[in-house]
Structure 1
Amino acid sequence: MSKEYFSYWSDGDSFPKTKSWNESRDCCSWDGVTCDLLNGHVIGLDLSSSLLCGSIHPNSSLFQLHHLQTLNLYNNLFNYSSIPHSIGQLTNLRHLNLSHSHFGGKIPTENSYLSNLVLLDLSVYGLQLDERTFETMLHNFTNLEVLALSLGDISSLIPVSIHPNSSLFQLHHLHTLNLDNNYFYPSSIPNGIGRLRNLRHLKLSGFDGKIPTEISYLSNLVSLDLSYSYKFLQLDEITFEAMLHNFTNLEILSLWYVNISSPIPVNISSSLRYVDLAHTNLRGVLTESFFLVPNLESLKLSGNDLLKGVFPKIHRSNTLLMELDISSTGISGELPDSIGTFRLTNNSLSGPLPSNQSMLQKLTELNLSYNSLNGTIPSWVFSLPLLSSVSLQHNRFRGLADEVIKTNPTLKELHLSNNHLSGSFPQSLVNLTNLETLGISSNNITIDEGHLPQFRYYNLQYLDLKFNFLQGSLPLSICNMRKLILLDLSHNYFSDSVPHCLGIMASLTVLNLRKNNFTGSLPPLCAQSTSLSTIVVNGNRFEGPVPVSLLKCDRLEVLDVGNNVINDTFPAWLGTLQELQVLILKSNKFHGPISTCQTKFCFPKLRIFDLSHNDFSGSLPAKVFGNFKAMIKLDGEDTGNIKYMESMSNLPFVRSYEDSVSLVIKGQDIELERISTITTTIDLSNNHFEGVIPKTLKDLSSLWLLNLSHNNLIGHIPMELGQLNTLEALDLSWNRLTGKIPQELTRMNFLAVFNLSQNHLIGPIPHGLQFNTFENDSYGGNLDLCGPPLSKQCGTSDSSHVPQPLESEEDEGETYFFSGFTWESIVIGYSFGLVVGTVMWSLMFKYRKPKWFVEFFDGLMPHKRRRPKKRAQRRRT
């Protein structure tokens, strides 16, 4: 495995310590090796962050180091291989750290042989722990002082119970316990936790139920973290007060998302330095006592909308408070003059910012987003000497003058999106050369002299300019942004070609150019980089083929090239991209049949497949449908929770980016701002597909939308489609389908949009469940359908009659013309034709001049030919 791949997820301090091991015969001089100075035995092995890959062989020489006391393999990549059972041979181990090392499988029982352990850290997400091994380990580890078992959700594999009499609560030397992100069964915190009187550091999450009162007995705690339990963890008012009273040594208290539902305490421990009570349902008035805690450096109370009050004017001499977050509360007040980080978002603040804040010399972060602040942004926002982050998005600020923006070498993040900023893109803005994040989307920014100024953002990682009035060509200086991770220029008026350097940006993860006027061919994306996960160029004028360089985008999840003039055959080779979930080729000039890729696993994660409004032809690709494994509901799949696509990046500004998609639902383009994992759609409408509807579509049991309208499909509607019990929209209109509507389709309980109009279907319309809700327009243009909701009664005509096929796609006038043909008009036309035909037949035989008859009509229609098909007018989305 390459070092490049390893560095993608490891920290920047990783380096191969074992690389130098062959350079000296004295192993005690090797990196990471510690020896006993008296006898030369190896007693310590620290290979943390050493770029180790693969697995450890059970007969490895590692397990011959019988004097080993410390083994640290933190932050390596062991490919989810098992922890070798031979680990039990290292009986002298006192410190064992395998955290974040990507082991997998069960924790071996032999681990319990290490009875001398003082520190055990097995914080590896996905490791499995059975109850027998859990209890055996804890029973033998009588000297244990530090225990960390952050394994992730193991409840679905091997349920582990922690009872009040568990061996865990007999570890009287334990001073640090971390059961973060586990899910034991039962998942409540046992009462026995109060017996661990020597605990100094306790971190529990993933538990639910009521926090036991016994937790307040842990009077030696220095840090307590019960956060992020999604409000399933309850803390009653009595226990909360007892904790604050008894924890006289507590410095760190984090109860984020614990449901406390009590008044905010009046007094808190003077030892506290960090307090996080965000989203805890606290209520009441915030008093001055909170701000007078002598050692308090950080206070987070956001998300408690029942808190109110005005925080007092605090002077630097009275507090060490450097971080204050009271967002989404009812607390208000003036900006304090001593805070280093100030967050007051979503608090309904209004009016302009003060013009002078000369006292905010210690401010490093200012976040006043999601309020109703207006006026112009004062110059002091850009001139404070320590300021590194400014977030003023979602307000009503207007104007962004050049003279306001000051060159500030410390400023790294600037968020001004969703305001009323107008005017030309400020030239002085490009002088903030140390910016890493710049977001000014959803404003009214224009471009002076027809082009953007030359960018000087050599450190920029995030650039969001969407929803403005920017125009002209992109400056070539964008190629200097070598660190760019997210580039969103969508919904502007940019034109000309896109610089090809976008294809060689090593870090670029999200590229969104939707709704502009770019022309030329698509740049060779992923030509020298494989980091792109989202490519959206929908709604431009790109032409030519799909660049084959996309084959290297092995992390690509979303590819949307819809609404351009791309001329190509179906790019079946995209099926080799194993992470691809969204493929949109709609409204282009794609043509030819849908070919299959030659790999074993083709489009395995694809969930949105939109080829509509093109010139594709041939039969529907049954084999391709069979590859869509992500559209097949697997046994045991959890469908109760709706999740949304999100970036795999660890950077918060990239994770906040949400992929969107436009789908045709009920004949209208609907833009979904987020793509959920249940949005599984196939849209092949407005093409020239022929043949029958494949029965294999029934296997795509999680399909949500299926649109095959405006094609030349023939044959019966497969009754197997009734097995698509999650389908909500089905459109088979404007084809040449024959036969009856299968009764089996009534099994589709979630069907909300249904259109079979303009086909040649016959017989009664089925009834039951969702079918009782569909109106006439679901069936119009089928001359021999009968029964409700149609006015035609069954049994009034020959139901075996099948009309001659019409052209599948006509222009708007033809559509209107053919829609006027009802069964009444056909009967009248037939009668009139019968009379005329009889008269002409009599004349022919009376005067015996059939040659004259033929020549007469040949003269009237000398150039009769079949009318060619017209393409349906495309609608740009």
Structure 2
Amino acid sequence: MAGDLDLLISFKNSLANPSLLSDWNSGQVVCEFQGVTCKNGHVSSLMIRGLSLGVDFSSVSAHILSLQNLETLTLHSINLTGFISAPTNCTGRLKELDISSNSLRGSVSDAASLADSCHSLEMLNLSHNSIGQAFYSFSPVQPRLKMLDLSYNKIAINGDIQWLFSNLGSLQHLNLSNNNIQGTVPHITNCTSLQHLDLSTNQLSGSIPAGTFSGCLNLTYLNLSSNHFTGNAPADIETWSALVTLSLSNNNFSGQIPISALAALPGLRLLDLAFNNFNGTLQKSIIKLTSLEILDLGANQFSGLIPHTLCTYGISSLKLLYLQDNYFTGLIPDSISNCTNLVSLDLSLNLLSGSIPSSLGSLTKLKDLILWQNNLNGEIPSELSSLGLLRNLLLDYNNLTGTIPDGLVNCTNLNWISLASNQLTGLIPIWLGKVENLVILILKNNSFTGSIPAELGNCKGLAYLDLSNNQLNGSIPPALAKQSGKIVGGLLVDGWLAVRLGGSMNTQCQHTHNFLEFDGIRYDDLMRMPSTRYCNFMRPYMCGTGSFQKNSMTSMVNLDLSYNQLNGHIPTEISTMQSLRFLNLEHNHLSGQLPQELGGLTHLLEFYVSHNMLEGSIPSSFSGLSVSDLDLSNNRLSGPIPELGSLATFPAYAFENNLGLCGLPLPPCNGGSTSKGGVSEQLSTNYKSSQGWWIALWLLFSIFFIIGFVIGQFI
């Protein structure tokens, strides 16, 4: 029988490029090979990750699985190809086999045969492969197998899971998520050992009849999210008495949530029912869920009051409370402050009224306070300054008044401050420049006065700055560009999905862009926002805020200072912000010339400087811009529009109402009438002819983007 050294060298020689395992040599001690661990001089463990070996599974089966003392084998993301098959000489000691993130093919039957051939196998991870092309007769699941992961494969036939559910054996952990399994969930029999079941992100449909999981008395984790289930929540939830985690999110469940049944689950810690059609009120009896730590009821149709008893009694263990995107009314209960372990609170996109309870300042573990789009009034409580761990403060689209509390300077961990579309007044605080971790600052659509603090340039990670539609005056501080190329690594906004909505040119929309936290909101429900009722939002830019993660080569992404009373020149220092995608300076009193240096902003997507007093010619460097939207209209610009680049492709209204601009898309510079009437007539003709084309282009872009976003949810 071949020894360990011979088997490993044979495996190496089967590679298309054996040099990838350069230290696997016959003259070297086998226990010193890359990835090898030994016990008593024999190979007991082999781990290779992220090395593109490009080898067929048959070679693994013939050589690696024949190692007689092998206990664990991990070949993760090594470009392992071919069909999985039952090895003829699988070591009797192998307990854990991880061959995930490869290009393996075969059926669920083949996976079962592989497990059956390795008699001691307890854990088999085949996730992120291409398992599931065919449905054959099955071998029984190896009776000692405890963990089977087939997630992120191509299993589609309902018969696969029907067979698995009737042959679970001693399985404790079964993961079939992110496949394409269709049909209904079959009844599970003989599942007394099963503790973890994940069927999320498939194409399962229909209702879940009572008794489907009734035999799974030890089930602690059940994830049925992101399918197409309908009807009421399962009627026999109370029989799943061992449940700790239950996720039914992203389905089409409806009716009221069965609080009394859920109260029969004493160990339930996570309840996720988001993105369904549950309705009715949130019953006071929810306090019976005494062990609950995570409650997500977002994106449903709940209405009525948030129970004032929510955190009064045993449910005070809550860490995450998500009630966003519903129709809750009334006040934010003071009793929420009794949930002293609360880390994240999201009540956005509801109909809540009254003031923000000052008692929230006692939640010293709170990191996320998200209350945007309600009917809240009053001032921002100064007590929030006690929240030293606060990362995200999102209070947009309310009726808040007063100033920004100076005490928030104590919240040094703030990443995202968004107070847009309120009635806030006073100066923009200088101390914001001391919040070094600040990534997103949105103060638009308020009544702030005074100048823009130059100290904002001291923020080491400021990527998105929107101060538009206020009453700010003075010049644009060149110091805003101080952080360009000097960003501290690792600064980011954790885990949120955001949407940036761009609108058409509409005189009724003083500001046509919205950057919103979007992690728990239905896209269609954005239409509930008042600003979307009169602004034709056509350009959605979806992004995870993790994309704002900083490194030493990046700078600001968005700078919007439009609709203010700013004067002076446009600072040339803006050109050092090489990561700028959106630059909006329109509707101010800016003068001087367009800086030649701005033509070097090669990543710029949108550039607006209309309705200012800019003069001179359009710099020739602007030919290098590859913007998708541009507006230089209503200034005092003159001379020819640069012929090279994309400028001539924009409609005439992007250049209209200047002193003497000429050339495409305006009338030529060396002929035709240049009188005010003639130019106006020509501009009107160009505008009319291009308007339909321009709108059609943006609609096409929007449809493409939305389809891409939806598809991305299932990848």
**TM-score calculated relative to the size of structure 2:** 0.78
Structure 1 regions of 5+ residues with no counterpart?
1-160, 180-192, 638-642, 648-656, 804-819, 826-877
What corresponds to 2:146 in structure 1? 297
Inter-CA distance 487–741: structure 2 relative to 1 (3 Å threshold)? same
What corresponds to 2:584 in structure 1? 707
SS in 2 for 1:574: helix
Inter-CA distance 645–534: structure 2 relative to 1 (3 Å threshold)? same
Q: Distance in 1 between matches of 2:105 and 2:156?
A: 11
Residue number among 384, 391, 395 corresponding to 1:533 in the alignment: 391
Is 1:691 aligned to residue 568 of structure 2? yes
Residue number among 508, 512, 516 corresponding to 2:366 in the alignment: 508
Residue number among 655, 660, 684 corresponding to 2:498 in the alignment: 660
What corresponds to 1:98 in structure 2? none
Residue number among 348, 366, 381 corresponding to 1:490 in the alignment: 348
8 Å CA contact 1:221–1:250 kept in 2: the answer is yes
8 Å CA contact 2:667–2:679 kept in 1: the answer is no
Residue number among 287, 308, 325 corresponding to 2:175 in the alignment: 325
Inter-CA distance 331–165: structure 2 relative to 1 (3 Å threshold)? same
What corresponds to 2:711 in structure 1? none
Q: Distance in 2 between matches of 1:524 and 1:784?
A: 53
Q: Distance in 1 between matches of 2:29 and 2:639?
A: 77
- Which amino acid in the other structure matches residue 477 of structure 2? P
Is 1:250 aligned to residue 94 of structure 2? yes
CA deviations over 1:806-825 (Å, ceiling 9, x no partner): xxxxxxxxxxxxxx996689
What corresponds to 2:685 in structure 1? none
- Deviation, structure 1 residue 383: 4.0
What corresponds to 1:445 in structure 2? 302
Is 1:354 aligned to residue 203 of structure 2? no
What corresponds to 2:380 in structure 1? 522
Residue number among 382, 407, 425 corresponding to 1:549 in the alignment: 407
Q: Distance in 2 between matches of 1:244 and 1:435?
A: 49
Q: Distance in 1 between matches of 2:604 and 2:168?
A: 63
The aligned length equals 605
Q: Distance in 2 between matches of 1:219 and 1:237?
A: 24
Inter-CA distance 427–361: structure 2 relative to 1 (3 Å threshold)? same
What corresponds to 1:777 in structure 2? 653
- Deviation, structure 1 residue 165: 3.8
CA deviations over 1:718-744 (Å, ceiling 9, x no partner): 111111111111100010111111111
Which structure's residues are more often strand, by fraction?
A: 2
**TM-score calculated relative to the size of structure 1:** 0.64
Residue number among 189, 196, 200 corresponding to 2:44 in the alignment: 200
Q: Distance in 2 between matches of 1:609 and 1:270?
A: 60
What corresponds to 2:274 in structure 1? 417
CA deviations over 1:208-240 (Å, ceiling 9, x no partner): 24248354453422112233x3xxx211337x5
- Deviation, structure 1 residue 433: 1.5
CA deviations over 1:737-792 (Å, ceiling 9, x no partner): 111111111112x2111110111111111111212321101101114111211135
What corresponds to 2:634 in structure 1? 758
- Which amino acid in the other structure matches residue 294 of structure 1? P
8 Å CA contact 1:705–1:729 kept in 2: the answer is yes
8 Å CA contact 1:482–1:507 kept in 2: the answer is yes
CA deviations over 1:268-305 (Å, ceiling 9, x no partner): 22211111111111233466756531111111111112
8 Å CA contact 1:365–1:387 kept in 2: the answer is yes
- Deviation, structure 1 residue 620: 1.0
Residue number among 559, 568, 574 corresponding to 1:682 in the alignment: 559
- Which amino acid in the other structure matches residue 325 of structure 2? F
Structure 2 regions of 5+ residues with no counterpart?
1-18, 506-511, 516-541, 549-553, 683-715
- Deviation, structure 1 residue 664: 4.6
What corresponds to 1:342 in structure 2? 197
8 Å CA contact 2:66–2:89 kept in 1: the answer is no
8 Å CA contact 1:524–1:547 kept in 2: the answer is yes
What corresponds to 1:605 in structure 2? 461
SS in 2 for 1:246: coil
- Which amino acid in the other structure matches residue 97 of structure 2? L
CA deviations over 1:553-576 (Å, ceiling 9, x no partner): 222211111111111212221111
- Which amino acid in the other structure matches residue 447 of structure 1? G
What corresponds to 2:292 in structure 1? 435
SS in 2 for 1:292: coil
What corresponds to 1:278 in structure 2? 127
Identity of aligned residues (%): 29
Q: Distance in 2 between matches of 1:729 and 1:547?
A: 33
What corresponds to 1:82 in structure 2? none
CA deviations over 1:621-653 (Å, ceiling 9, x no partner): 11232234468xx9xx9xxxxx99552xxxxxx
- Which amino acid in the other structure matches residue 702 of structure 1? S
Q: Relative contact order (alpha carbons < 8 A, sep ≥ 6): 1 or 2 greater?
A: 2
- Which amino acid in the other structure matches residue 342 of structure 1? L
- Which amino acid in the other structure matches residue 292 of structure 1? V
Q: Distance in 2 between matches of 1:644 and 1:291?
A: 50
Q: Distance in 2 between matches of 1:824 and 1:348?
A: 57
Q: Distance in 2 between matches of 1:293 and 1:217?
A: 19
8 Å CA contact 2:478–2:573 kept in 1: the answer is yes
Is 1:717 aligned to residue 624 of structure 2? no
Inter-CA distance 785–311: structure 2 relative to 1 (3 Å threshold)? closer
Inter-CA distance 824–770: structure 2 relative to 1 (3 Å threshold)? closer
Higher alpha-carbon deviation: 726-735 or 357-366 = 357-366
Residue number among 622, 637, 645 corresponding to 2:478 in the alignment: 622
8 Å CA contact 1:402–1:427 kept in 2: the answer is no
Inter-CA distance 772–163: structure 2 relative to 1 (3 Å threshold)? same
Q: Distance in 1 between matches of 2:681 and 2:221?
A: 76
Q: Distance in 2 between matches of 1:170 and 1:728?
A: 57
8 Å CA contact 1:379–1:406 kept in 2: the answer is no
